[in-house]
Every structure is written in C-alpha cells, then in structure tokens.
Amino acid sequence: MQTELSKTLGVEHAVFGFTPFPAVAAAISRAGGFGVLGAVRYTAPDDLKRDLDWIEAHVDGKPYGLDVVMPAKKVEGVSEAEVEAMIPEGHRQFVRDTLAKYGVPELAEGEASGWRITGWMEQVARTQLDVAFDYPIRLLANALGSPPADVVDRAHDQDILVAALAGSARHAVKHRDAGIDIVVAQGYEAGGHTGEIATMVLTPEVVDAVAPLPVLAAGGIGSGRQVAAALSLGAQGVWLGSMWLTVTEADLSSPAVTRKLLAAGSGDTVRSRALTGKPARQLRTEWTDAWDDPNGPGTLPMPLQGLLVAEALTRIQKHEVAPLLGTPVGQIVGRMTSERSVQAVFDDLTRGFEQAVDRINRIAGRSGT
C-alpha cells in the first residue's frame, strides 16, 4: 500500500494512526503505518517528554508524528479565569442538576479536573511544541485550522511535514495557502470535530482543490475495503483515529468506555456541541441528549462549553456513570467489536485491502491480477 506520501515518509503502508496513547502510536509505526501521538492531554511538558522518550525507545527507529490543537484564532491577553466568568449561571446550574440527577459523586480533594480546555490554549500547544521539536518527529498535525506561520517555518526548518484537518475544500485551500504540506480531509462520519460533508464527497473535492498536495482521507475508515475506497477517491493515504480506541495497547481511562465502544453500532454516535461548543462526533449518551434537548439551555460556544463541562466529564469518567459516559468516536465504531492488537488491525486492513483490489480488478475485467 504505497503512495508518493508513504514513500516520502518511508513507511510500508499509507495508514496514519492518530492516538492519545504512546504505546499505540509506537505500535502503529512498528506495524508499518505512521503513528501520530495526540498531544492535547499533555498540560505538563515533562509528561510529554516522558512519553516521547518512551516512543523513541519502542518505535524501532520507525517514523512517527505529533498532533497538537492550536486554535486558528488567538485569544490575546484573556486569562482562563476571565473566560470562566463568561459562563452563565443557568448553564452551571444545569450541569449541577444533571450530575445530581444521576448521582455523580464529587471528585476527591486535590484530584485534577478537566485537561480538555487548557490543552486548546495556544500557549500550551507552544509548550508542547518546544518539547516535541527536540525529538525526530516527521509530521506535525494540527486539528484546528492552520498552525501559525512561525510554527510552520520552524517545522519545515527541521524537515517536518505539516498536516492540517479540513472539513471542506475551502478550508483545505486555506491550509495550502498557509504552507501546509498535507491536508487531512475529515468527513462527516469521523470522530471528533467534523463538518457536514461525507468522506465519499469530501475526499475527491479536497484532492482536486489542493492538487498536487497530498490528501489523507479521514472518517468512516476501519477496514481494508474502506482503505481501498479512500485511495480510489484520490487520497494518498488514510487517517484512522477511532479504530485504535479499543486496541489492546490502548489505555482508556475507563473499562466502561471500552465496553460501550465494543457494544455500539454505527448509529450510536451523534454530532454534538456538548463536548467543546463545536460539533464533534461522539457516542450518543444521556449526557449528549441533555445538551441537545431543545428544552435544555443548549450549549455554549467554544471555548466556554469545554470549560463548563470539564470537571463534570472528569467526575463522570472517574466514577464510570454509565448512562452519561461517552467519548469522541466516529461511525466506524460499529466495526469495533473486539479488542485486538494494533498488529491484528493492520493485518486485517492489509488483507482486506488486497481482497478489495482483487475484486475491483475482476469487476473492471482486468486480467493477470
């Protein structure tokens, strides 16, 4: 499964795996793909340093990358406390009421709450980058718009390719104009922040809009057939996130979340603003239902919603309050029915890809294949 991009990066398969877990990122690269570590949860630079050291020690010299969340729009001179003060009391009360309704216990004294929002602040992302640029990462991805120009320049100086996610051809063109090297076309069916255009339509649109820039297809991909489909659409590779949530190497904070993921079907996700204030696909739960209920207060814009719910989500996770417990994940969750190793997922992807190519050749009447 070789494209120009996979050759440039020196990987065997054009499969990019986004994961918050160092063990998963290293395993993806070892299996012949390209592991990308999500940095958003690292609020302490030393934690990121420790985990990058771990990857270096376990990646067998294979290439890997880092994914940060730098907001396109910078909020200058506003403290987290000042942002906190913008949250209406009615919304705070709704959180308290909902938690009380389900009997969600408080956190113990001194327990940390909610990394979610701080990780989005540009200063945190810059601290992460200061750490990451000391490691031989080959790719830097940004989930929210194009990274600032100085970050792109610094990456290019170190021969690091820069990728950015886009949900429309228009955003993809903005990325190209900002000097980005790779566009990740994130379809409607993907987990996390998504637009409304499905992968089948979005991928070729983005490919045509930014050609000859390479495009990775993201959203709805978890089998070899889907890899073949994405590459047929013109992508130079696939970007998988959800699929790694239930691998044996993953370290989900809660076994209850894993159980929910393994049981969920493709219709059990929702694109909701409940998590961050922007539409993000996630497991549908009684928590997302409460926020999406027209009789409720509704969600706040980013970054207020994330700040508002950070502690609540920590409490729900810590105490595994099943009806409220969710996680960002795409519609491919319906295919995540057992815990497998990263290598087993790759074996399945590559075998399924070869079978799909056999099939399409038969349909096309190509001989000798």
Q: Is 197 in the site for a second copy (CB under 8 A)?
A: yes
Compute the least distance from the CB of residue 52 to a second copy, in Å. 31
Listed ranges 18-26, 178-186, 194-202, 250-258: which one lies at the site for a second copy (CB under 8 A): 194-202
Compute the least distance from the CB of residue 3 to a second copy, in Å. 6
Listed ranges 67-75, 77-85, 112-120, 193-201: which one lies at the site for a second copy (CB under 8 A): 193-201
Q: Is 266 in the site for a second copy (CB under 8 A)?
A: yes
Please identify, using beta-carbon distances, which residue of 61 and 294 lies nearer to a second copy: 294
Please identify, using beta-carbon distances, which residue of 221 and 325 lies nearer to a second copy: 221
Question: Residues 199, 217: contact at Cβ < 8 Å?
Answer: yes
- Give SS3 for 328: strand
Q: Is 168 in the site for a second copy (CB under 8 A)?
A: yes
Window 296-335: residues binding a second copy (CB under 8 A): 331-332, 334
Structure tokens given for 231:
């590459």
Of 267, 270, 130, which is closest to residue 191 (Cα–Cα)?
A: 270
Window 59-88: residues binding a second copy (CB under 8 A): none
Give the ranges where the chain is alpha helix by DSSP (H).
4-9, 22-30, 45-58, 80-84, 89-101, 122-132, 149-157, 169-177, 199-210, 224-232, 255-263, 286-292, 304-318, 342-363
Among 50, 74, 351, 359, binds a second copy (CB under 8 A): 359
CA distance 243 to 340: 10
Among 198, 252, 322, 344, binds a second copy (CB under 8 A): 198
Listed ranges 120-128, 144-152, 223-231, 248-256: which one lies at the site for a second copy (CB under 8 A): 223-231
Among 16, 21, 34, 188, binds a second copy (CB under 8 A): 188
CA distance 213 to 366: 30
Contacts of 128 (CB under 8 A, 6+ apart): 39, 42, 45, 48, 66, 68
Compute the least distance from the CB of residue 200 to a second copy, in Å. 3
CA distance 69 to 72: 9
Please identify, using beta-carbon distances, which residue of 195 and 303 lies nearer to a second copy: 195
223 phi and psi, to 5 degrees? -140, 165
Among 124, 155, 231, 280, binds a second copy (CB under 8 A): 231
Given phi > 0 = left and psi -120 to 50 = alpha, else beta, which region is 137? Answer: beta
Angle between helices 22-30 and 342-363 (to 10 degrees): 50
Q: Is 354 in the site for a second copy (CB under 8 A)?
A: yes
Q: Is 31 in the site for a second copy (CB under 8 A)?
A: no
